[in-house]
Amino acid sequence: MPHDRRRPVTSETNGKCVVLDAPPQIIIGLLESLRAELLRHVQEGAESILLNCKATTYVDSPGLSMLVRVRAAAMERGAVFALSHPTPALLEQLELTCLTGLLHPDHDGPDCTR
């Protein structure tokens, strides 16, 4: 059965680091499942959560708000949340909304390979 690209796929690369593959668009109709998955990992004690955005080309305003809120929830628990591998279109959107430094601070995200 093929993977539904609207839902995130989780692969743990290290016990405390989680990488999720984001859907092509992070839009209002898909936010609840993505938000729930991200917050589940925050609540389970992940130290680093990366949202791999290599296929994501658009995030609507509610989606950007959700990402900022997930980052805040992660920070409250001492965790790191960041976007990794944003497409040029997504990176431009982050730059236009002044969220690059907040959601994609080092342009690589936390190192989950250690």
Three-class SS of residue 19?
strand
CA distance 31 to 107: 23
Other CB atoms within 10 A of residue 55 CB = 14
The strand pairing partners of 80, in sequence order, are 48
CA distance 45 to 43: 5
Cβ(47)–Cβ(19) under 8 Å?
no
Which segment of 9-23, 39-53, 87-101 scores lowest on mean pLDDT? 9-23
- What's the predicted TM-score (pTM) here? 0.83
Cβ(57)–Cβ(89) under 8 Å?
yes
Q: Which pLDDT tens digit goes with each residue over 16-37?
A: 889 999 999 999 988 999 999 9
Q: Which pLDDT tens digit goes with each residue over 54-64?
A: 999 999 999 99
Cβ(53)–Cβ(86) under 8 Å?
yes
